[in-house]
C-alpha cells in the first residue's frame, strides 16, 4: 500500500522524524527512502505494484522537485503517452512517475484531472513550497499536524506523527494543501441537479460504470486477489472480475469456527464463478488476542469499525503469510451509496440523499479507514471499485427515490442492474444485507461484548467513561476500545468525528448498538 511522510521544516530532531517514519514500514516493505528536500524531509516506504523494478522507487525527481505518492493512477498510460509526445522521458513503469511532469504542465489543476486513489506530498523547487493532496474519497490515507518548532508534517498514518505533533487530523479528501491553506478540487457528493434517468436507464449505467471500475483496477504488475464475503457487493466485484480475467480469480473468505454465516455464501459464489477459493477460520481466543494489535493498527475507537475490521485483518494476515497476492479488490462504499439496513427507515428521498452524502463524505474515517489499515498492515494494497469517481458521481446524481427500499429489499437498484446476464445466482443476488461483523459469525461480537462486560463494574464504567469529553464511551465494549486507543493515540480522539451509528433521529433507529441485528427489519439477514 506504500507509506509517505513529509516535513515542511526540519524543526524537530531527525531521529524523531525517522522513528515516526519507521512505524509504518509494513505498508511498504520492499524499499525505503528518506532524505532532505528543501527545508524539510521526504520519505517513502514502497510496496511494488506497478513498475516492479528499482527504477520505480520513489521519491521521483524532476528539475530539483520531488514527489512521494501512495496511489494508483487509473488510465495513466494515455497521459504518459501524451507527456512523452511533449518531450518528457520516463525511467520506470510506475504510474506515479507521470505526476511531476503533470505538475510542471498543469500545476495544481492536475488533481482534478486524475482518475486515481492517491495521497501525495510534492516539493516544488521553483517556489520552495510543499504541496500535499488526497483523492476525493480519501481511499488512500493522509494525516497532518503542526510541528512544535514550526512547519507542518504529513504522513500516511497518525501513528507516524504521535509524539511529534500535538494535534493530528485527517487530511480532508478531495483537497490539496499549500502554504498552510486547503483548497477543494473535487466534491463528489454535492448534487446540484439530479440526472433524470429512470430506473432502467439508471440500472444500465450502474452496470456499465461498475464494470469499467472493476476493469481498470485489474491493471497490476503484482498478483491480484479478491475479498469475498458472499454478500452482494463483494460477489458482484468478483463476478465482474471473473468475466474480465483471462484466468480464474483468487478469492478469500473468513468466518468464526462455530457459526460463520458468510462462509457458506462465499463458497457458493466462488463455486459459481469457478474461482480459486480459500477459507480462513478464526476462533474466540484469536479474536481476543488480536484486539490490541488491531486497534493500534486502525487508529480508531469506533465500535463498528473495530468489529468489522477483525475478520478483515485476520483474513489479510493469512493472505500475506500464505500467498503471493499483493493487491486485493474489495466491496466497500456500496452501502454508503445504496443504503444500509437502517436507511430502510429514511423518512423521505431527501433524507436518504442527505444521509448518503454524510456517509460518503465521512467514509474515510470509517469503512475506508478499516479497509486500508487491515490490508496495509499486512503489506497488501486495497482497490475499491465502488469508490470509482465516475461511479460515485453518477450514483449520487440519481433521484434518491430510485435508491430507497421500495420493494422490501435494500439495494434493489444495484441488484436490478445485474439481474439479467447470469452475473450471480438468484440466492446471492437477492440475499438480504448482513453486516460483515455479524456475518462472520454472531458469536464474534457476542464474545467481544462478554469480554468487555467482564472487565468493568458499573461504577468503573461510569467513572472511566467520564474522563472523555469527546465521543464519550456509552457501553463497556466502547470503553474497552477507547482505553486501548488512548494507549497508542493519547488525546487524539478528534481524528474520528464520532461513533458510527444509525441515524437516531429516524423512526426505528434510536438504538444503542451499531449492529443491524438490533433493528426491527434485520429479518433474514443473519440466516
Catalytic residues: 2
Q: Are 140 and 134 in contact (CB under 8 A)?
A: yes
358: Cβ contacts below 8 Å, ≥ 6 apart: none
Residue 226: which residues within 8 A CB-CB, separation 6 or more? 234, 237, 238, 241, 249, 250, 251, 252, 275, 328, 329, 330
What is the C-alpha to C-alpha distance for residues 297 and 44, in angstroms, rounded to an integer? Answer: 19
Query: How many C-beta neighbours within 10 Å does residue 139 have?
Result: 28
359: helix, coil or strand?
helix
Q: Provide DSSP, 184-202.
A: E---SS--SS-----HHHH
Per DSSP bridges, beta strands 181-184 and 224-227 are unpaired
CA–CA distance, 115 with 112 (Å, rounded to integer): 8
Q: Is the peptide bond before 72 cis (omega within 30 degrees of 0)?
A: no
Strands (E), 198-286: 224-227, 250-256, 276-282
Tell me if 239 sits within 8 A of 394, measured CB to CB: no
| Distance between CA atoms of residues 364 and 387, nearest Å | 11
CA dist., res. 277 & res. 85, Å (int): 44
Torsion angles phi and psi, residue 360, rounded to 5: -70, -40
Q: Virtual CA dihedral for 6, 9, 11, 15, nearest 10 degrees?
A: 30
Contact indicator for 129, 179 with CB cutoff of 8 Å: yes
Angle between helices 349-362 and 389-397 (to 10 degrees): 160
Contact between 145 and 491 under an 8 Å Cβ cutoff? The reply is no
203, 417 Cβ separation under 8 angstroms:
yes
Amino acid at each position: 500500500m506504500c507509506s509517505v511522510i513529509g516535513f515542511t521544516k526540519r524543526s524537530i530532531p531527525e531521529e524523531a522524524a525517522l522513528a515516526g517514519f519507521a512505524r509504518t514500514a509494513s505498508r511498504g516493505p520492499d524499499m525505503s527512502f528518506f532524505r532532505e528536500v528543501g527545508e524539510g524531509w521526504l520519505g517513502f516506504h514502497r510496496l511494488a505494484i506497478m513498475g516492479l523494478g528499482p527504477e520505480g522507487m520513489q521519491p521521483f525527481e524532476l528539475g530539483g522537485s520531488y514527489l512521494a505518492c501512495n496511489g494508483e493512477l487509473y488510465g495513466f498510460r494515455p497521459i504518459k503517452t501524451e507527456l512523452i509526445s511533449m518531450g518528457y522521458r520516463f525511467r520506470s513503469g510506475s504510474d506515479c512517475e507521470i505526476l511531476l511532469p503533470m505538475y510542471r504542465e498543469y500545476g495544481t489543476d492536475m488533481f482534478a484531472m486524475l482518475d486515481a486513489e492517491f495521497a501525495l506530498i510534492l516539493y516544488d523547487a521553483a517556489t520552495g513550497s510543499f504541496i500535499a493532496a488526497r483523492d476525493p474519497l480519501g481511499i488512500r490515507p493522509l494525516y497532518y499536524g503542526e510541528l512544535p518548532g514550526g512547519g507542518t508534517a504529513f504522513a500516511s498514518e497518525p501513528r507516524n506523527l504521535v509524539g511529534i505533533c500535538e494535534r493530528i487530523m485527517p487530511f480532508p479528501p478531495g483537497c490539496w494543501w499549500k502554504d498552510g491553506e486547503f483548497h477543494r478540487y473535487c466534491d463528489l457528493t454535492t448534487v446540484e441537479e439530479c440526472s433524470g434517468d429512470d430506473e432502467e436507464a439508471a440500472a444500465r449505467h450502474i452496470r456499465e460504470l461498475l464494470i469499467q471500475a472493476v476493469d481498470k483496477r485489474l491493471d497490476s504488475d503484482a498478483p491480484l486477489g479478491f475479498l469475498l464475503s458472499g454478500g452482494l457487493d463483494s460477489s458482484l466485484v468478483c463476478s465482474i472480475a471473473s468475466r474480465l480475467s483471462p484466468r480464474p480469480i483468487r478469492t478469500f473468505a473468513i468466518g468464526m469456527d462455530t457459526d460463520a454465516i458468510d462462509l457458506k455464501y462465499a463458497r457458493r459464489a466462488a463455486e459459481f464463478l469457478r474461482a480459486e477459493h480459500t477459507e480462513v477460520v478464526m476462533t474466540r481466543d484469536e479474536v481476543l488476542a488480536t484486539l490490541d494489535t488491531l486497534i493500534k493498527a486502525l487508529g480508531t475507537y469506533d465500535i463498528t469499525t473495530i468489529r468489522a475490521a477483525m475478520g478483515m485483518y485476520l483474513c489479510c494476515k493469512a493472505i500475506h503469510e500464505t500467498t503471493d497476492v499483493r493487491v486485493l479488490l474489495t466491496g466497500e462504499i456500496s452501502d454508503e451509496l445504496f443504503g444500509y439496513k437502517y436507511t430502510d427507515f429514511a423518512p423521505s428521498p431527501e433524507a436518504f440523499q442527505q444521509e448518503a452524502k454524510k456517509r460518503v463524505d465521512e467514509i474515510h474515517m470509517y469503512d475506508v479507514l478499516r479497509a486500508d489499515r487491515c490490508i496495509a498492515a499486512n503489506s497488501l494494497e486495497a482497490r475499491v471499485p465502488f469508490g470509482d469517481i465516475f461511479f460515485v458521481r453518477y450514483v449520487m446524481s440519481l433521484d434518491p427515490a430510485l435508491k430507497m427500499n421500495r420493494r422490501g429489499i435494500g439495494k434493489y437498484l444495484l441488484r436490478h442492474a445485474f439481474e439479467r446476464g447470469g452475473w450471480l445466482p438468484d440466492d446471492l443476488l437477492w440475499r438480504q444485507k448482513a453486516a460483515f461483523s455479524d456475518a462472520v459469525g454472531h458469536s464474534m461480537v457476542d464474545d467481544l461484548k462478554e469480554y468487555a462486560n467482564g472487565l468493568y463494574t458499573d461504577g468503573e464504567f461510569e467513572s472511566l467513561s467520564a474522563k472523555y469529553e469527546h465521543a464519550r464511551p456509552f457501553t463497556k465494549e466502547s470503553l474497552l476500545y477507547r482505553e486501548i486507543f488512548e494507549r497508542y493515540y493519547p488525546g487524539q480522539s478528534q481524528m474520528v468525528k464520532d461513533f458510527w451509528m444509525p441515524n437516531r433521529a429516524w423512526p426505528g433507529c434510536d438504538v444503542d448498538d451499531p449492529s443491524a441485528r438490533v433493528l426491527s427489519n434485520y429479518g433474514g439477514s443473519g440466516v
